[in-house]
Chains A and B, each alone.
Chain A
Amino acid sequence: MESIAALIFSLLVLGSVVFLLRGKGLREKYAFLWLFVGIACLVLTAIPGMLRSVTSLIGVQVPSNLLFAMGIIFLTGVALHLSWEVSVLEEEARTLSEEAAIGRVRLEELERKVEALSSAVGEAGRTAPSPTAPSPTAPAARTATADWQPQRPAD
């Protein structure tokens, strides 16, 4: 009975890893780890005498202690790995936010400059029209100024 429960559990682990890997975007580098765990569980449950023989081979007295020890070592490793991954992600987020901030301030400076320039162009078009032939570009420049609105990024 217990072995059937264990078999179902290891199949569940394997199934969910495959499911996440196929559709839900679980990255391969993490999937490998859990596939290994699932397969190890499956092997241990499918061959009933295996855990006992491995235990006596290593010199551990109680089979369940070997399982627990392996589990603790494995989970510690996973936790450490995830902490490291989070640190890398934080550093990446930091770099991105720096880039976003610098990009934004330079964009705003450019917007101000463009605004100043286009209003200067509009001003020149109004105050100094050519007396003989009105320049065709001046009105165009003026409408462009009127239409153009700086796009403020949404906060």
Chain B
Amino acid sequence: MTEVRSKVRFPAATKVLVIMPAWNERACIGNTVREVIGLGRNYDVLVVDDGSEDGTPELAEAAGAHVLRLPFNLGVGGAMRAGFKYAHRMGYDAVVQVDADGQHDPKDIPAVIAGLEHSDISIGARFADKGQYTVSGPRKWAMRLLAAVISRIARTELTDVTSGFRAGNVRAIKQYLKHYPAEYLGDTIDSLVVAIRSGCVVSQTGVEMRPRQGGQPSHNPAKSAIYLVRSMLALLFAMTRGKARTTHESDI
């Protein structure tokens, strides 16, 4: 890292890119994009189409988003890294990841971005003082444990480390380009742990979750048990990784 870390890292006139990974989100993509543009904040919206077959990219384009079409499905992690690469090449100062399904309220985007004033990665957390998002059973234990462990590593209180609603500055983008696995939970746990290890400062902002605008939420106990195991495994692997190795700028 050659850039100088100063107190004011986030001036008001910044180019912000809202990245939305989308895979067959025909039901809600148009509305979500329009809501973000309707904020009137001059955010550019990039929908990363993760190999959809239902016309998602056309709907996103019609709604006014830039669309990155991946030739095949890569998963959220794959879609996000493509988005970060785009943001890096096009010279954006900050990115915000927002779910295409409308669970993340676009009105909270400015608050999550404001978190970048004192950190490199700002997480929109679902349990922090705001909203009534609830989970139970193994999924809840997993989330609690993950939050506790990662809070320790980050030396700050984080209550929702699996939230996909997060913002990052240039430093975070560069870090993500070095390490952002396409694996399960790689986009949340693994990338976050390695980013912290590599010196990124993390903070969180309370956000409200809305019900999905389309699709089915999963509340199957067997699935949450599998989630518990897989998330612990992801955490374990992430913990064994050291600092992301430095790649040449030209590799990115």
A76 at the binding interface (Cβ < 8 Å): no
Q: B82 touching A97 by the CB < 8 A rule?
A: yes
Is B81 engaged at the interface, CB distance under 8 Å to the other chain? yes
Is residue B34 within 8 Å, beta carbon to beta carbon, of the partner chain? Answer: no
The answer to whether B182 and A94 touch across the interface, beta carbons within 8 angstroms, is yes
- Does any Cβ of A come within 8 Å of B217's Cβ? no
Q: A97-B82, A98-B82, A98-B85 are in contact. Are A105 and B70 (CB under 8 A)?
A: no
User: What is the distance, in angstroms, from A99's C-beta to the closest C-beta of chain B?
Assistant: 8
A102-B182 in contact (CB<8A): no
How far apart are the CA atoms of A105 and B17 in the complex, in Å? 15
In the bound complex, residues from chain A placing their C-beta under 8 Å from that of B74 are 94, 97
CA distance A101 to B85 in the complex (A): 11
Q: Does B43 count as interface, using CB distance less than 8 angstroms? A: no
Query: Chain B 57-69, CB within 8 Å of chain A: the 1/0 string?
Result: 0000000001111
Question: Is B127 in contact with chain A by the CB < 8 A criterion?
Answer: no
The answer to whether B69 touches A104 (Cβ under 8 A) is yes
Is the beta-carbon distance between B66 and A101 smaller than 8 angstroms?
Answer: no
A140 is an interface residue with CB less than 8 A from chain B:
no
Q: Which residues of B contact A90 (CB under 8 A)?
A: 182
Number of interface residues of B (CB under 8 A): 16
Interface residues in B67-103 by Cβ distance below 8 A to A read 67-72, 74, 78, 81-82, 85-86, 89
Chain B residues whose C-beta falls within 8 Å of the C-beta of A67 in the assembled complex: none
Complex Cα gap A98–B71 (Å): 9
In the bound complex, what is the Cα–Cα distance between A102 and B88 (angstroms)?
Answer: 11
Chain A residues whose CB sits within 8 angstroms of the CB of B81 once the complex forms: 94, 98
The reply to whether A102 and B66 form a contact with Cβ atoms under 8 Å apart is no
Contacts of A88 in B (CB 8 A): none
Look across to chain A and name the residue whose beta carbon is closest to the beta carbon of B182.
A94
With both chains docked as a complex, state the minimum distance between the C-beta of B137 and any C-beta of chain A, in angstroms: 33
* B residues less than 8 Å from A104 (CB atoms): 69
Is A70's beta carbon under 8 Å from chain B?
no
Q: Is B182 a contact of A101 with CB atoms below 8 Å?
A: no
> Counting CB contacts under 8 A, is A100 at the interface?
yes
Q: Is the CB of B71 within 8 A of A97?
A: yes
List the A residue with the shortest CB-CB distance to B181: A91
Set of chain A residues within 8 Å of B70, measured between Cβ atoms: 97-98, 101
Q: Which of A94, A97, A100, A102 makes the CB contact (< 8 A) with B89?
A: A102
Contact in complex: A105, B71 (CB < 8 Å): no
Residues of B within 8 A of A105 (CB): 66-69, 86
Knowing A94-B74, A94-B182, A97-B74 touch, does A102 contact B86 (C-beta < 8 A)?
Answer: yes
Binary B-proximity of A65-109 (CB < 8 A = 1, otherwise 0): 000000000000000000000000010001001101110110001
Smallest Cβ-Cβ distance to B49: which chain A residue: A101
Tell me which of A97, A98, A105 has the highest count of chain B C-beta atoms within 10 A of its own C-beta: A98
Residues of chain A lying within 8 A (CB to CB) of residue B82: 97-98, 101-102
| Cα of A36 to Cα of B72 in the assembled complex, Å | 38
Given A94-B74, A105-B68, A105-B69; 18 other pairs, CB 8 A cutoff:
A94-B78, A94-B182, A97-B70, A97-B74, A97-B82, A98-B70, A98-B78, A98-B81, A100-B71, A101-B68, A101-B69, A101-B71, A102-B82, A102-B85, A102-B86, A102-B89, A104-B69, A105-B66
Taking beta carbons and an 8 Å cutoff, which residues of B are in contact with A? 48, 66-72, 74, 78, 81-82, 85-86, 89, 182
B-binding residues in A (CB < 8 A) = 90, 94, 97-98, 100-102, 104-105, 109
22 A-B pairs (CB sep. < 8 Å): A90-B182, A94-B74, A94-B78, A94-B81, A97-B70, A97-B72, A97-B82, A98-B70, A98-B81, A98-B82, A98-B85, A100-B71, A101-B48, A101-B69, A101-B71, A101-B82, A102-B68, A102-B86, A102-B89, A104-B69, A105-B66, A105-B69
The 6 tightest CB contacts between A and B, nearest first, are A98-B82, A101-B68, A97-B71, A101-B70, A97-B70, A105-B68
